[in-house]
Structure 1
Amino acid sequence: MKLLYISTLDHIVRVMLPHLDGAKAVGYETHVACQFTRFRDDVAAHADGLHHVPIQRNPLDPRNVLALFQLVRLIRKLQPDIVHCHNPSGGFYGRLAATIARTGAKRVYTAHGFHFHPLGGKLSNALYRAIESFAGRFLSDAVLTINQWDFEEAKKLMPPERVHFTHGVGVSTDEFDPMTVTAGERQAIRDEFGVPEEGILLTCIGELVPRKNQELLLWAMADQETGTLADKLRLVIVGDGMGLESLRALAQKLHVENVVHFTGFRRDTKAILAAANLFVFPSLQEGLPCAVQEALCMEVPVLCFQIRGAEDLVDTQCGVQVNHINSCRVFTNALVDFLLKGSPDVRKALGRAGRQKMIEHYSRSVCVAEWLAIYNKISPTLPSLSRYREGGAGGGRGTDK
């Protein structure tokens, strides 16, 4: 039995490698078609075949016509049983290619956050709704959603029996476990960023692009309300992207460059999270943010806006949601209120609850089993889940496969 993953770039496939492993565990031969860049070797270690196809992220890019023809030829050659597509371009052209190829492959699409959303523009929302509706009705056997908002919207746009709610790609609760970081490692991180003794380390991890909205955090750090905690606070923003230099310039303009640190790309994010007191996440658009899941796994409470995806993860048991979207004043007030009123014991209790939620509902083993079950539902002749389950699929500490 063959499974073909189609996406735009290899870094997108990289977060789903455990799903490829799960498919191989139950007997699939796995293939990946996308543009390969620096993560080619990572993907190659988990897939039986790699196929470079230059799918462009912009669905309207004319180069996608060439990619479509390449995908049709590839599908006819491989004869996969499942074609599982990801992201708007990969999702549309992959499903269209599988339909044109007429090999009988089941067409599956995971919406990692629809590109239409409550804060989107009218024109872009209308365009993406039309694309998703057409593809869901005529090019799909199953559409997987990863948050409640997308699930409800998808059922309005396409036959509801094709729409499935899942908990996303999952997070490794074994890897992101606070027990795996020593006290010395935590202290080394706090020393690196100059966190005072009994000080408060705020952490934000993500690509530095406008929708992630890290600029708001700089204004919050410069706010006079935050001034009551200025001597104790340090903010670490982890990630790279086109917005780095403008954020650095804003930090200098607001005179917070001494208490805000931009680290760029880091491989020790687990240690940074373990050293943090609060994960601050001002993003305006998400599907189901991996960074929030990782923070909760590391027992770090989260402060975020009440946006699609984030609201699935963060509740009053593990953090704070701000429902005035993109209001710096309300976000800052919530931050100060949480830090002043929330004792270390309260923060620890929130952190423990967040980790338990991830273990029960969002661990990799749970999420892989969900996707494999959907494969079986749309085609009962496909491999059984029994071998995966016998392999130890679970959700607790030390059992996340």
Structure 2
Amino acid sequence: MKVLHLNAGNETGGGMKHILSLLDELDHDQVVLGVFEEGEMVQRAQESHIETVHFKQAFPFDLSVIFQINRYIQQEGIDIIHTHGPRANVLLRLLKPKLQIPWVLTLHSDPSDDFMGHGVKGELFTRVHKRAIRSADHCLAISERFRKRLLQMNVSNHKITTIYNGIDFSKSPEMNWERKNFGFTEEDFLIAMVARFEAVKQHELAIESFAAFKQSNENAHLLLIGDGTLENQLRKLCEKLEVDKSVHFLGFRNDVASLLPMVDLTLLTSKSESFPLVLLESARANVPAVTTDVGGVDKMIPSRGYGWIVDQPHSKSIANALNQAALLSGSELPAMGEKFHDFVSTRYSTQHFAAQVSNVYDFLYKSPPKMEYNV
């Protein structure tokens, strides 16, 4: 069985890590990564000896690429195609009438939020993308909430499988950064937020919450790890709230696993998530988290003893959770981090994650669905 995984190729965050960790765990002779743009994702795949193919587009809406994909499927004897992300999903819907093999897609994010902040064009893309999702033969939902979201979109229950993300907990960071490398001391309370600077991640909420928390915690610092279109806007907000000396923009980094062990807490303020890899990475680093109540975070943080899930996504509620965490700094907060690690590591490994996906492939390969074109 050979599976072609298709993605735009411009992923740099959790989506990229999800796809690459899955492909790395599967038999490399049975998987191929197809992309429309070459970048860090392809580089990392090739470093892991994962076969890649570049389906070139003259521009993002160049539909001629579907003929390249179809030709490749026929020539290489692809048995299943697995798409990740809106662009790949929409293109496969156009190709589906010609397909004689099953099409699986993974829902990494809520499609209603994928084009947040893009106005009328975003609303159009959202409708087109939702229609594409309904056309797939099978959907993998990365949380139970996303399974319910698919049901709301009129995707049949028998076409949905809930599969949670996983990471390799046996891997240790190649190096560990020390606080002094960034000018911090052991007395500082460090909070890290790993997320691209886009509307759905709600960095404004994170900064406003931190500003409220900072009023009673002078030694606190917020480390923003990522990049994106809203960076300048967020820097101005920090200046307005007078926390620009305590909020540090570290940019996009490949060494998140090496950075997290030096912080006290991680923060996630997203409006929508599936099963956030950043929380898995936080657990691997023995660092507890404060997060909004999104996706499957309750599966990783089942009670207050493992971290904080904020039901009301308001700056006051998040600042209150940050204050509770700061009061535990010393021995109690690290102990919570170890408990978080022990709970998550036994349930959400890459091996378990890949095995679930393989079971779906085996089922579709042995009992392929009747090929139909949903409108």
Q: TM-score range by the shorter chain?
A: 0.7 to 0.9
Structure 2 residue 168 is matched with structure 1 residue 172: yes
Match of 1:71 among 55, 69, 72: 69
Q: Which residue of 2 aligns with 1:398?
A: none
Shift of 1:144: 0.5
240-249 or 116-125: which moved more? 116-125
Letter matched to residue 261 of structure 2? A
Distance 1:49 1:210 in 2: 31
Shift of 1:49: 4.3
| Residue-by-residue CA offset, 1:286-318 (whole Å, 9 max, x unaligned) | 222221221121111100111234344333232
Distance 1:39 1:158 in 2: 30
Shift of 1:73: 2.8
Structure 2 residue 158 is matched with structure 1 residue 161: yes
Distance 1:55 1:173 in 2: 40
Query: Counterparts of 1:78-157 in structure 2 under 5 Å?
Result: 78-97=76-95, 99-102=96-99, 104-116=100-112, 128=126, 131-132=129-130, 135-136=133-134, 139-156=135-152, 157=154
Q: Which residue of 2 aligns with 1:337?
A: 324
Change (3 A) 1:31 1:274: closer
Match of 1:378 among 359, 364, 367: 364
Letter matched to residue 275 of structure 2? L
| Residue-by-residue CA offset, 1:241-273 (whole Å, 9 max, x unaligned) | 222222222222322222221111233322321
Q: Which residue of 2 aligns with 1:253?
A: 240
Letter matched to residue 66 of structure 1? S
Distance 2:115 2:19 in 1: 27
Distance 1:302 1:197 in 2: 19
Does structure 2 conserve the Cα–Cα contact (< 8 Å) formed by 1:117 and 1:125? Answer: no
Shift of 1:10: 4.8
342-351 or 366-375: which moved more? 342-351
258-267 or 365-374: which moved more? 258-267
Q: Which residue of 2 aligns with 1:322?
A: 310
Does structure 2 conserve the Cα–Cα contact (< 8 Å) formed by 1:33 and 1:50? Answer: yes
Q: Which residue of 2 aligns with 1:8?
A: 8
Shift of 1:128: 4.0
Distance 2:182 2:238 in 1: 16
Letter matched to residue 112 of structure 2? F
Change (3 A) 1:10 1:249: closer
Distance 2:187 2:87 in 1: 48
| Residue-by-residue CA offset, 1:67-92 (whole Å, 9 max, x unaligned) | 33332333233331011111122123
Structure 2 residue 204 is matched with structure 1 residue 207: no
Distance 1:129 1:315 in 2: 34
Shift of 1:3: 1.4
**Structure 1 length-normalised TM:** 0.79
Q: Which residue of 2 aligns with 1:387?
A: none
Taking only aligned residues, the RMSD between alpha carbons, in angstroms, comes to 3.1
Partner secondary structure for residue 105 of structure 1: coil
Letter matched to residue 363 of structure 1? S
Letter matched to residue 225 of structure 2? V
Does structure 2 conserve the Cα–Cα contact (< 8 Å) formed by 1:85 and 1:108? Answer: yes
Identity among equivalent positions (%) equals 21
| Residue-by-residue CA offset, 1:221-243 (whole Å, 9 max, x unaligned) | 332x532211x212211122222
Query: Counterparts of 1:211-360 in structure 2 under 5 Å?
Result: 211-223=200-212, 226-230=214-218, 232-316=219-303, 317-325=305-313, 327-340=314-327, 342-360=328-346
Shift of 1:381: 8.2
Distance 1:275 1:161 in 2: 44
Structure 2 residue 53 is matched with structure 1 residue 50: yes
Does structure 2 conserve the Cα–Cα contact (< 8 Å) formed by 1:200 and 1:234? Answer: yes
Aligned residue-pair number = 360
Does structure 1 conserve the Cα–Cα contact (< 8 Å) formed by 2:80 and 2:101? Answer: yes
Letter matched to residue 5 of structure 2? Y
Change (3 A) 1:165 1:263: same
| Residue-by-residue CA offset, 1:136-176 (whole Å, 9 max, x unaligned) | 3xx332210101111122234222111101013x2221235
Change (3 A) 1:144 1:226: same
Partner secondary structure for residue 339 of structure 1: helix
**Structure 2 length-normalised TM:** 0.84
Tell me which of the two structures has the higher relative contact order, counting C-alpha pairs closer than 8 angstroms and 6 or more residues apart: 2
Shift of 1:118: 12
Shift of 1:319: 0.8
Partner secondary structure for residue 362 of structure 1: coil
Partner secondary structure for residue 229 of structure 1: coil
Partner secondary structure for residue 215 of structure 2: helix
